[in-house]
Amino acid sequence: MKLLLKYTASGSRYFEITEKNTPAGYVQGYGYDIEDAVVQDIKIGNTSGKMIVFKDKSLKIRWIKLGIVYQLEGNISKEEALKIVESLH
């Protein structure tokens, strides 16, 4: 099962939150061109995640908690994105 919530603001600003149930033992890998993206390990509560910031200033944050894969992506600031992610935790 997958749930997608999309929020839009004035101009082209938006972000999406995706939640997806995963089977036991789910593993997720990441591969990004280092010329186009910067990947950073982050802590969300006691869960580890990744923040990927792209050259066009869009971003993705991914983490897994209790068998659910969460992803926030959009063209908002890192600070705004982290506040949203923390509020979901």
pLDDT in tens, 27-85: 666 666 677 888 899 999 888 999 999 998 899 999 988 888 899 999 999 999 999 99
User: What pLDDT does 11 receive?
Assistant: 77
Domain count within the chain: 1
CA 68 to CA 32: how far, in whole Å?
Answer: 22
State the pTM of this model.
0.82
55: Cβ–Cβ under 8 A, 6 or more apart, which residues? Answer: 35, 36, 37
Domain that holds residue 83: 2-88
